[in-house]
Amino acid sequence: MERRLFEPEHDMFRDSVRRFFQNEVAPHRDRWHAEGQIDRDIYRKGGEQGLLLMQVGEEYGGAGIRDFRYEQILLEENLRYGDSGLYFTLHSRLVAPYIEGLGTAEQKRRFLPGCVSGETILGIAMTEPGAGSDLAGMKTRAEDKGDHFLLNGAKTYISNGINGDLFVVAARTGPGRQLGLFLVERGMAGFARGRNLKKMGLNSQDTAELFFENVQVPRANVLGDPARGFYYLMEYLVDERLISAAQYVAASQVAFDLTLDYIRERRIFGQAVGDFQVNRFKMADMRTQIDIAQVFVDHCVMEFNAGRLDAADIARAKLFCSELEGRVTDECVQLHGGAGYMDEYRISRMYRDARVSRIYAGSSEVMREIIARSIGLDPRKPAPKN
């Protein structure tokens, strides 16, 4: 299906980005997977190409491109030609917006240029051993000591946890939903990293534990109002889900394409695997579902650009695309036969990578909660009287 949302300048950008991933990322993919992390130098190279924080203003070194279609192209090309564990978009569009949106002029001046150039790699630390979906249950504490906050606690499953230089850390500053967001820098006394966790998929992505023991976070590193962190997270997580949905439908498309090639070539019982009616129908079903998902995602991208992306719409897109990616990669492994189970076949990695899409960035169950509430099914509120 021809997608109509891109202009000629987007196509030119796609070509240059594709070359970047083919030349700078693809040759290192297998090594990165074996080592369990990417080379941090790739961020600096991405910065030189102008691929990081494209949205921030020229005063910080960015290009001031607010149009999310460029980021969508970047993540589509990364999935196809780069490496799924390289998280440029998490750095640029998931974490940097907290600094851009909530940071003081001084914080932006201090931190954004390094993020644009790729010298500073970003991460966000919300999840704890005892609190993931239920963020209000977090135990990490930040006590107000006047000129600084004293941070104590532990985070886990943090993307870019090993390579990261600057983390937006959520911590409790009071009872209930009273959380603050703090900028914790590499080298701060009392800040330590734990294990680079071994995972089912996304093997080149460094997902780690972080520990904070009496870390003195200066007041100058507090983002926004230290009592409103929970509400900031709820607001910015909407953007995370747009990135997620765009990524999952793109992954479904890549899995579909490489499977189509495979089943045209592979012959059994005197015919191509793709000539069996059952397989032709499977591919037809996947083609249909991916096209429908892509239309919805592209609509969400344009709504985001127009500043009116609806939280429940993007929850539907995230839910649908992550479930789609799971079904498609599973079916595509099946169509590859034994080869699909072998690590040297890309579909095997894609299948393993896909499993987390239904868990992070708000799990499928959390998305269903948001969607159900949006249609008035909210047990916390009394039913309207007829």
Ligand X SMILES: Cc1cc2nc3c(=O)[nH]c(=O)nc-3n(C[C@H](O)[C@H](O)[C@H](O)COP(=O)(O)OP(=O)(O)OC[C@H]3O[C@@H](n4cnc5c(N)ncnc54)[C@H](O)[C@@H]3O)c2cc1C
Residue in this structure with the two tokens 């019982």, named with its chain if needed: 269
Q: Which of 157, 248, 256, 262 binds ligand X (CB under 6 A)?
A: 157
Active-site entry in 240, 323, 325, 365: 240
Q: Which DSSP symbol is given to 272?
A: E
Q: Which of 124, 246, 332, 333 binds ligand X (CB under 6 A)?
A: 124
Q: Return the number of the residue (9 or 365) whose C-beta is nearest ligand X.
A: 365
Cα–Cα distance list, 205 to 24, 218, 225 (Å): 17, 30, 32
Q: Does 125 bind ligand X (CB under 6 A)?
A: yes
Q: Does 132 bind ligand X (CB under 6 A)?
A: yes
Smallest distance from ligand X to CB 224, Å: 18
The encoded tokens of residue 262 equal 């495979």
How far is Cα 381 from Cα 379, in angstroms, rounded to an integer?
Answer: 5
How far is Cα 293 from Cα 288, in angstroms, rounded to an integer?
Answer: 9
SS3 355: helix
Draw the binding track, 231-270, toward ligand X (x: CB under 6 A; -: no contact): ----------------------------------------
Smallest distance from ligand X to CB 152, Å: 17
SS3 70: helix
Other Cβ atoms less than 10 A from the Cβ of 136: the count is 13
Residue in this structure with the two tokens 């070539």, named with its chain if needed: 265
Q: Does 276 bind ligand X (CB under 6 A)?
A: no
143 a catalytic residue: no
Q: Which DSSP symbol is given to 23?
A: I
Q: Does 369 bind ligand X (CB under 6 A)?
A: yes
Alpha-helix residue ranges (DSSP H) falling in 174-276: 229-265
Q: How many residues bind ligand X (CB under 6 A)?
A: 21
Q: Which of 171, 223, 366, 370 binds ligand X (CB under 6 A)?
A: 366
Residues known to be catalytic: 240
Q: Which residues bind ligand X (CB under 6 A)?
A: 123-127, 132-134, 157-159, 199, 202, 207, 356, 359-360, 363, 365-366, 369
